[in-house]
Structure formats: structure tokens, C-alpha cells
Chain A
């Protein structure tokens, strides 16, 4: 079972990101689950969302305690929340930032991860470019696909099209593709 935890702030599409991930996995015939860390749904508050992807059905309901994939949508959270709590350091780390890991002050923690399991990208910049909004979630999902291969772009595109009306879906797909390309290029 592959477990994902997404950290961000209210309004950044954290919950949508987890949902899109689960739907994309579903589209690929896998079992998946997503849910938010429930709380007051106010803008700017730290939020988490979770997803699980598996080949068989998932019954567990506890929040993702040992994420195989950590997605950090907002790097300012490193100072507020212990985002690495319980993280499987053999898993993946995906961070939205234009800074380096050392600039972010997480060099020590990130060093525990395999090098090719870490990706840092300016997702917000790309989001502004493609969707004219500071919502880095779809860019990060593209990057997630490239980084983890747990879902793939066609399924992700499908999930985005299901969730959003065409006018919003298409730019988001472009944003996701941009995220995908960026990471894919680095990896390969």
C-alpha cells in the first residue's frame, strides 16, 4: 500500500489534490482512498490531506501516519508543523519551492531519502503561469506522477476533467503536464 500525505494551507487545493490522486489511481483500476485532516475550513490554516493507493481494498481509516510520499505544498510549514513526523524516508519527498533544500533548512531530514526520491520545484510559479492562480496542487500532482510512477498522466488528466469543468480542467492539465515534464526531465 502506498500512502501519501499532503501538507499545505487552506485554499491551496490540498484536499483536492488528495482527491485527484485517489481518483487517478481508481481510474487505473487500483483501490484508493483519500480524505482530509478534518478541521475548520478557513483560508490559510495548516491542513493535511491523505491518500492511499493499493492493489486490494483498503479498510484502514487512520490518518496516514507513515507516508510513503510527502507532498509539501507550502514550504513555510516547515517552521510550523513537523511535516516529517512518521515519514518513511525510503519513500518520496515532493516540495513546492524555488529554493534549495539547504535554503529550506531541511537538508538533514532530506538527506535520509534516496536522492532520486526528492523533487523540489516552483509549483506556484508554474501554477500562476498556467492557471493564473497560486494553486500549486495540479502542478505537484504532475510532478508526483513523474516522481513516483504511482499514477500516470492519462489517469490524472481524466481525474482532473472529472472534477473540474472544462474551462478550469484544461489549464490545470497543462499545469500538471508542466510539473510532470519538469520532474521527468530531471529524473531521466
Chain B
């Protein structure tokens, strides 16, 4: 059924269609509307046989999920940013224990400086946590991928994180096609846990493992993720058969194979890029996009296959490893190094959209133009106010007690008009 609703409501309704049994939550912008809506669905009786609990922290929330999932419940929660970091220990634990929890991450920057707006710093902070990490471009995909996430998690007995850009998707009201219960039931069978705390068949979960077997256990986690590369594709196909839509999968190519210049990106920015390349292609540019829908597992083969004809690759990402650079870019580098068909491709790493900075078509277009002229640097911070940075560096050089950086820059940009205090 077509609906014009916010991304958060769409996801909440999709999750409800998956018949979750336990949902703990803790509020944090920008995911809060999802769990608020689920709360209403449970409290009003629209979602039955489900225990919903507003707990005292994200750490508790993920821990609650761990207990619930280990006891055999289909379990869901959502968080973002600082909340993800606060639950971090439990995030690793959930995957280490192999518990098929589904969590929405309403992607948001990480402080300090505190910032509630969108980027991918939170998702990237857990890139080694052992979770499956899927990214969505639109609200339709968001709701579709959540349905697939449960099936995927339960097939692998691994937790799945659906990454959805905060505000840009969560708060955007768009048209979505909401499936009906019968369709979802057809796609997603009841949860049969691989391991379960059961008094009829007692089991110890979470034993200590020493050097003698730790490597094997960790290797198995890696092995599971590699299995997911196949299963994700299979499930996307199965999904398309039942729901009639292409949603999910490992990667999505928009003219990537037939273009000289190819953007690689994840999440909602792909939508803006699509709008851009439609313009550019009509102007005669050879430009495409490769959208990464699965970040973990990292679909190196699929990526390289899509990029094999590209001359210039612009890896656009909304986060970076401070002191190193683009995370996705370095992973793409690594993948292309291994892939024999790709030789001599130019890869530029573009960091943009940090802390909610608007990603405009115009700025993206400039990147393409520069790339076309062979002028695009290996590392670009898109729309960086270089002068502001230079002035702050000077202040720091001039004065040991130059004060807090964030506040200095705000003052410099005139956002804060207070006069200097000393």
C-alpha cells in the first residue's frame, strides 16, 4: 500500500510486520521516532506478543537484546551516534555470541563537538564489530531492507545493522509502498534460533575461549560474513520475487560499468548523485554511481566487477579515520589492489557531509568536472572552509592558550557573535 510517511514511521511499521517479540529502546536523536512509534504499536495492541521496554541506557538496551535473543526472541532495537558508542561493548558481544539481533542505526555524527546531524562516523566506528552493516538510499529501501535484515540475521545467526541516514531519511516524508502482513509472512518465516536458552535442553552460551581455539572461533565469524555475501544476494532476489521491488543486495550500479567516472558512495547521498548524473549524462558526461548497500560483509568482488571499466573513481564518504583519511576509500583501494582486472584506475577520496553539512549537487558536480580534467586530488574535503582553518591554525601558533577549537571556529564563522573573553 502506498503511503506518504516519514522514514521513521515506515521503518517502525516494517519492523512491526516482522513480528518482533522483544524491543528494548533508549531515546537518541535521530532514531527516536522509530521506537516511539513501535511503543505505540505495542501499547495499543496493534503489535501483539511483543515486550517493549524503555530501558536506562543504550548499553542496557543492547544487553537486553542479547538476553532476549539468546532466549529465542526475534529482537529489535535502534540507536545512533553516541548511543552506539555507549553500547559498544555489547555490540561486539552480540556479534561474538552470534545473536541475530536487528538494529537500526539512524546515522549521526559523533562528538565532540556534539553534533546531532547526519554523517557516517557512528557506522564506521563499529565496522570491525562483526555485525552485518547494510546501507539504504531511500525510505523505501529502509523498510524493505529491515524485512530482509531479520531473515538474513536469522539465517546466519548474526546481528544485522541497518544504516539509515539520520534526518535525511528518518525525518523525510516520502512515498513508500508498505507491504502487507501476508507478503512479509511469506518472505520471513517464524524465528527458529540456532541457539537458545532452553530449560528442556540446557546450553551454556558465552564460555571463555583461550588461545587454543580463539582464532578458530574468530575465523568462523569471518567465514559467516563471507557466507552472507551469497545469502544477501539470494534474499534480495527472493524479496524482489515476492514484493516486486529491487531492494537490498550487495551493491547497486547506476551506469557504473559503462562510465569513465564513477562515484562510490553509501546511503542517501546516492539519491542526490542520481539526480546529478541524470543531468550530467544528458550533457554527455560519462559518469555513473556504485552504491554500496552492504558495507559488512565488504563485497570486494562485486565492487571491482562494477568498477572494472572506470578510469576515475570518486569514493565519497561521510566519515573518515582521523590521521588516516577515507575509510571506504582505503577499503576500495585494498579491493582493487587484489583484483587483477583493475589496473591503473585513479581513486580519489572525498570526505563530505560531515555533521550534517549539506551535500549539494553543485559541489558534487564540481568534483566530476575536476575529475574529468584530471585535477581531482587524492584526498578532498568537500566544501571545506579553508580560510577558517588557516585562521585557527594561526591563532594556535600565535597563542598557547588559544582556547577551544570548536568555539573559536564558530566565532570565526560568525555563528557565535560573542567577543573574545580574554
Binding site for B on A (CB under 8 A): 18-19, 22-23, 26-27, 31-36, 38, 40, 57-63, 65
Contacts and interface: CB of A to CB of B under 8 A. Distances in A.
Contact of A61 (B117, B269, B362): B269
A38 B175 contact: no
Contact of A59 (B166, B275, B360): B275
A26 B2 CA distance: 9
A40 B114 CA distance: 12
Contact of A60 (B4, B171, B275, B356): B275
Nearest to B360: A62
B333 interface: no
B358 interface: yes
A38 B358 contact: no
B63 to A, nearest CB: 30
Interface of B: 2, 4, 6, 30, 116-118, 137-138, 165-168, 171-175, 268-272, 274-275, 356, 358-362
21 contacts: A18-B173, A22-B4, A22-B174, A26-B4, A26-B175, A32-B4, A32-B174, A32-B175, A34-B173, A35-B173, A38-B118, A38-B167, A58-B174, A59-B270, A59-B271, A59-B274, A60-B272, A61-B165, A61-B268, A62-B360, A63-B358
Contacts of A33: 172-174
B168 A35 contact: yes
Most chain A CB within a 10 A radius of its CB, from B4, B138, B167, B358: B4
A58 B176 CA distance: 12
A170 to B, nearest CB: 21
Contact of B171 (A26, A35, A59): A35
A65 B137 CA distance: 21
Given A18-B173, A61-B165, 19 more contacts: A19-B173, A22-B4, A23-B173, A33-B173, A35-B168, A35-B173, A38-B118, A38-B167, A38-B356, A57-B175, A59-B137, A59-B138, A59-B271, A61-B269, A62-B359, A62-B360, A63-B358, A65-B360, A65-B362
B272 A61 contact: yes
Interface of A is mostly: mixed
A105 to B, nearest CB: 22
A165 to B, nearest CB: 14
B139 to A, nearest CB: 10
Contacts of B274: 59-60
Contacts of B358: 62-63
B232 to A, nearest CB: 23
B173 A22 contact: yes
Contacts of A65: 360, 362
B119 to A, nearest CB: 12
Nearest to A65: B360
Given A23-B173, A34-B173, A61 B168 contact: yes
Contact of A35 (B167, B272, B359): B167
B361 A35 contact: no
Nearest to A33: B174
A130 B174 CA distance: 29
B368 to A, nearest CB: 15
Contacts of A35: 167-168, 171-173
B111 to A, nearest CB: 14
B192 to A, nearest CB: 38
A9 B359 CA distance: 24
A7 B188 CA distance: 44
Contact of B4 (A23, A36, A62, A63): A23
A60 B361 contact: yes
Given A32-B4, A38-B117, A60 B175 contact: no
Contact of A62 (B118, B165, B171, B361): B361
